[in-house]
Amino acid sequence: MTRRVCIIDTDPGTDDALAIWLALAAPQLDVRLVTVAGGNVGIDHTLRNARAIIGLARQPVPVVAGAQGPLLGAFRSETQVHGADGLAGVALPEGPPAAPGIAADAIRDLLRAEPRVTLIGIGPATNLALALATEPALIGHVEEIVLMTGAWSEGNITASAEFNAWSDPESLAMLLECGRPVTLATLELTGQALVTPDRIAALRAAGGGACLDAAARILAAVPPSRRFGHRGHPLHDPCAIAWLIDPTLFTHRDVHVHVECGGIARGRTVVDRWARGGAAANARLLDTLDADGFFALLTGRLASLA
């Protein structure tokens, strides 16, 4: 089996933690680098969290700090879901030190060294956009860009915008127009991955090591979502990883996506699901998810970690 060489760009974040562990546990993926931005919480927290997440998995993947905020506009965190520390108050052991350097430089270095790299963005897109914008010749080394971002109906940070897209819409727009395949896991898709008490119980019952135990504690600490009638909360970022591990869990369609970068609709992703506008498709939209299969994959993989 040929393993995909991957970079994960992240802002941990409760769901980011599970996404990173899922990627590290997947034999299909070769995670070479984790880059970090400010997002769910400030970069001091997200960098510490990323280091702890990698450390708990006992895998020697370098973690590199990047952008503290968006290309334009002000930084704003989202502590209502993720807590002030980003991990909903779940304490993890201190991880290894961050690798030296800056995220955009580290991304470019790996792209120079590898002919085919998959970029996985599960936070604001700033680091990825900076890396590609400052050395466009490397875009040809990008195999696929997989992003948890956007929404085609309603948002979760404003009435119309999803948090990652709203945090840096200019960077997201750059990625969508870079000419490489882009796959989007939007809120409509991730809402199908609903974490319920029964699914947390099944995760705990699987046994396993410290990562699975921490994952169960994190999921239990996230408050249930009002959008879902308090039945549970959506597990966003692992959906992007699951696409790369088992695409048979998903249906998808090719769409054109425009990102609003100003005004009251800043961060809105206008997704033409039915090709009404006639513009060429610039993204693959993940449409439906086999939720039971997804949680079985997540549980089985996390149980295999340390």
Asked about 236 being catalytic, the answer comes back as yes
CA–CA gap between residue 259 and residue 266 (Å, rounded): 8
Contact status, residue 68 vs residue 35, Cβ threshold 8 Å: no
* Residues β-bridged to residue 6: 31, 118
In terms of phi and psi (left: phi > 0; alpha: psi -120 to 50; beta: otherwise), the region of 122 is: alpha
Those residues whose C-beta lies under 8 Å from the C-beta of residue 210, and which sit 6 or more positions away, are 56, 305, 306
* Catalytic residue chosen out of the listed positions 236, 252, 256, 258: 236
To 10 degrees, what angle do helices 14-24 and 210-221 make? 150
CA–CA gap between residue 185 and residue 122 (Å, rounded): 10
Catalytic positions are 236
